[in-house]
Amino acid sequence: MRGTHDEPVSGAGAPPAREPASRTATNGSGPPTAWPTSRAGKPTGPGADEGCPFCRAPGLPDEEGLVVARGRSAFVVLNLYPYNSGHLLVCPYRHVSEYTSLDATETAEVASLTQAGIRALTEAYGPAGFNVGMNLGTVAGAGIAAHLHQHVVPRWGGDTNFMPVIGQTRVLPEMLERTRGRLAELWPRK
């Protein structure tokens, strides 16, 4: 599942980013999640697609799938090809491409996980700002258009200077796992 791409959050000043990857994430928000990790490696969620990294990640242990947090209808995973350190992707478990296809619960949880991600990133790295958004459709820059995902990219002043380098460089798995562990530890407890 590693090796997927996605383009950056588009739009003015948007960062080029690529996509991801995702443990038993106890997000401390209460009861066990609806999408357990027992079927390790198997796609999860309604309409799951074998070849979709966002369907497979939740089925893997957190460390392996780089999952930072798990909600009931959506989860958070680190981008395998981050624009910046801590680049998160918030995805519904359902394999859907249209934002308008999300139900009220999914819509609310994608939003709340985005907020939690911003809080955890702020706590962990203290970025100067964030780019948050979705690329809907391949033409809009989505690398994995079939399964929508919201980018949460921490930004620092001057980070565009090394963007081209970072954008083309694959981050070492150990670095991603360290980042994942830190963010999971700092994930807001409700």
Least separation in angstroms between CB 35 and Zn ion: 12
Kind and range of the H or E run holding 91: strand 88-92
Contact 60, 19 (CB under 8 A): no
Judged by the rule CB under 5 A, the positions of this chain that interact with Zn ion are 49, 52, 54-55, 95, 147
Active-site residues, by number, are 149
Least separation in angstroms between CB 148 and Zn ion: 9
Q: Is residue 58 exposed (0-12), middle (13-18) or buried (19+ Cβ within 10 Å)?
A: buried
Between 91 and 116, CB nearer to Zn ion: 91
H runs (alpha helix) in the chain: 53-56, 62-65, 104-125, 163-168, 173-186
Two tokens at 60?
A: 């893997």
